[in-house]
Amino acid sequence: MREKVWINGNKWKCETGHRTFDGQASRTIITDACVWSDVQHSGGVRASEYQTMPTGQGCAPGVLFNFDMQFFRESGMDERTVRRIRQYASTVFHEGDRYPDGEPDVIMVYQFHHWYRPKPDSWMSHVRGCRQKYVHGWVVTTGALNGRRLIEIIPNGQYRAKSMSVLEYCAEIVSNSPASADTEGAVVRERQAAAAAKRAAERRAA
């Protein structure tokens, strides 16, 4: 996990190589928790198998997953990526460590973005104080109970090379795995493939 270097009590040194992101990030916080800030939105995502709300009431499969993913969808996450995250959450639900009361762990999804002024030819440029959000992408990790291991880095947008530098840097802050070792996603996918093969064999045997 990357350590932050603080310039003073209110500012830290962010060095992703993306000047706009670094300037905005250094005045706020990037951390491995549920955060809503100028450059980060993150939260736990419950698997579709979760059918008990925090109030104790029951709900249909997928309701809590869709609730947790709503913000990321609204920020431009495509449905193919949503399906992958659904599979990751399901794998951790079935195979990950559990709390003493039997409650399964969630996965964490982190979105990193920066804000910019609209282009002069945009109608939004005439709105005073209006800013637009550029989403660099998402980082997916296991939850605290399962070691905050990196599952996948998912770039977004037009400038993917710059976005990857932002995401890899931030992944080393929010996870316990180096960004260059994006192996947990491969492990999860291997487990999913093995489980699918097992189910297929059981269906054939039946």
More confident residue, 119 or 59: 59
Q: What is the pLDDT of residues 12-37, one digit of tens each?
A: 899 999 999 999 999 998 999 999 99
Tell me if 172 sits within 8 A of 138, measured CB to CB: no
Q: What is the pLDDT of residues 152-178, one digit of tens each?
A: 999 997 788 889 999 999 999 999 877
Percentage of the chain lying above the pLDDT 90 cut: 55
Q: What is the 3-state secondary structure (H, E, C) of the chain?
A: CCCCCEEECCEECCCCCCHHHHHHHCCCCCCCCCEECCCEEEEEECCCCCCECCCCCECCCCHHHHHHHHHHHHCCCCHHHHHHHHHHHHHHHHHCCECCCCCECCEEEEEEEEEECCCCCCHHHHCCCCCEEEEEEEEEEECHHHCCCEEEEEECCCCHHHHHHHHHHHHHHHCCCCCCCCCHHHHHHHHHHHHHHHHHHHHHHC
> Mean pLDDT for the chain?
85
CA angle in degrees (0–180, nearest 5) for 189-46-139? 55
Confidence class for position 129, pLDDT limits 50, 70, 90: low
The values of phi and psi at residue 199, to 5°, are -65, -40
Confidence class for position 184, pLDDT limits 50, 70, 90: very low
Percentage of the chain lying above the pLDDT 70 cut: 84
The values of phi and psi at residue 42, to 5°, are -145, 155
The rounded Cα 140 to chain-centroid distance in angstroms is: 4
Question: Which pLDDT does position 205 carry in this prediction?
Answer: 80
Mean pLDDT of 58-78: 95
More confident residue, 81 or 3: 81
Mean pLDDT of 120-138: 74
In the numeric block, which tokens belong to residue 79? 């449905």
Tell me if 102 sits within 8 A of 93, measured CB to CB: no
